[in-house]
Structure 1
Amino acid sequence: MSDADDDYMNMSFTDPTPNAPKTSLQRHQERRRLASLKATPKTKRELEAEAERSRQLALSTSLLSQPESKTSKGAAMMAKMGYKAGSALGKSEGARTEPIEISVKEGKGGIGMDNEKKRKIREVMEEMQGKEKRQKADEGEYRERVAREREEKRGEGMWWGAMKICEKFDTEEEEEEGKTKERGKEKARNVNLLWRPLAMQREQKSKDMVLRKGALDSLSSRYQDDEADADDKLALGQEVEEYEDEEEDTELDEYLAMEIGERLGKVVGYLREKYHYCFWCKFRYQDAEMEGCPGLTEEDHD
């Protein structure tokens, strides 16, 4: 091969278009390469954490523990006056050997503001705890009161039922003995004390009905019957019966002053003793032994 011939194996080719525009893929790859070369900037939180670590390190490092080349001028002056590291200032015994710790105050509040905030927070917490305790106490008292009122109402209903049964047995006994009386004419205060409140209530209702009927009836102004008796005149509104003030029934007052459970117990005991009737079984037995009855109280029949 002659020297004039070109060596195609060692030939280098240049880009015929050096200023040709780059494709989008090439631009993207270039941006990624440049971004990888740059250091990632620290965030604000990272900078604050780094500054806090530096400050804590500076506060916890004693100037006296540093080498002489880095010791402050104040430490050098103290050393010239005889101060030694680890000893106290002056000649007094028991003096402080460590400097007072620095407490960095954060925020814009004045001196004592933190204590005031703590005091207010403590007062608010104590008030909230007090309200919570009072609320729990009120809820407990309310539940107890409701339960007590419900039990009293239930006991009062059973007491009225027991009085009706007692009246029925007493009335039947009087009829059997031939001592039947006109209940309308008999004074309520003369009946058995155990069911006297029932008779008093019935008597009062009768009086109120008669008075109301006489007040509303207008026949008295248009009709006059000379032969009408006192009851007819009262019904026609021609005269109003004036009830004489009766003497106080101290025996009844004492009976009503008892607790509802005690009153019910007296009526139930009277029915068992005299008529062999168990108010809880709702059954009248043949004899005083009352065989088959579980007991005297309601709990015995549960």
Structure 2
Amino acid sequence: MSDEEEDYMSDAFLSKIQDVKPGVSMVRRVKEAMRKEELQKEKNLKNRQKSYKEQEKESREVALQNSISNENKGFALLQKMGYKAGQGLGKQGAGRVDPIPLNIKTDRGGIGMEEQRKRKADEELENYRQKVRAKQQNETKTLEDFRSRVRTEREERKIEADLRRSQRSCEQLDSQKGITTPREDWYWPKGGAEEEEEKEEEEEEDEEEVELTSFDKLQILTSYLRGVHFYCLWCGTTYNDEDDLKSNCPGDTAADHE
């Protein structure tokens, strides 16, 4: 064998051969295609025209971050009347300093619907209190006879259990709506120490104030849950609206669900 000819079994000859493993070129092509696809997605996202709601939200955030300039006509009139930036409104400067916060409505209820529900619940609560006062003033003996005849120990325990259950439901539903303070202190459940303190405060209150029993509280609280949250304690269901509640719920008492 001449020197010019290479031995095909030698290391020099084998090192010149390219090491091609099965499937390597295909994997590289797939990775390259995926990378190009991601780059195209990023490019499309950058070039995508923003929707009207997105543009509106960005404009609103920019406007809220900037304070009112002297070019604003309303602000200019305030300055002519002696107002200075950072000062409270009013002659004594004791009024509002910060602008009224912006509340974006996200649900599909009509404007004023929530206020109407609260007003209706307040009216029902006040009407019920008036009925309780009338009963205590004009039918005290009849009411005591009724309670002594109807309120057995078993019924009292059931009323207390239903009241605690309604308080827990009220706290949960109020929290879901962003309500941080109960309408009445006893609308939400309390600990033992707080209950003792509440009893002492009630004893110190004026004698003319109506003292609500557990039965009265249960009636008021279930009325609140039905009027504001469309929730029935005994059905254990939150209905869509008032019509849905009236159509599918048997009634507003435990006896109606037996």
State the TM-score bracket (shorter-chain normalisation).
0.3 to 0.5
TM-score (norm 1): 0.29
Structure with the bigger RCO (C-alpha within 8 Å, sep 6+) is 2
TM-score (norm 2): 0.34
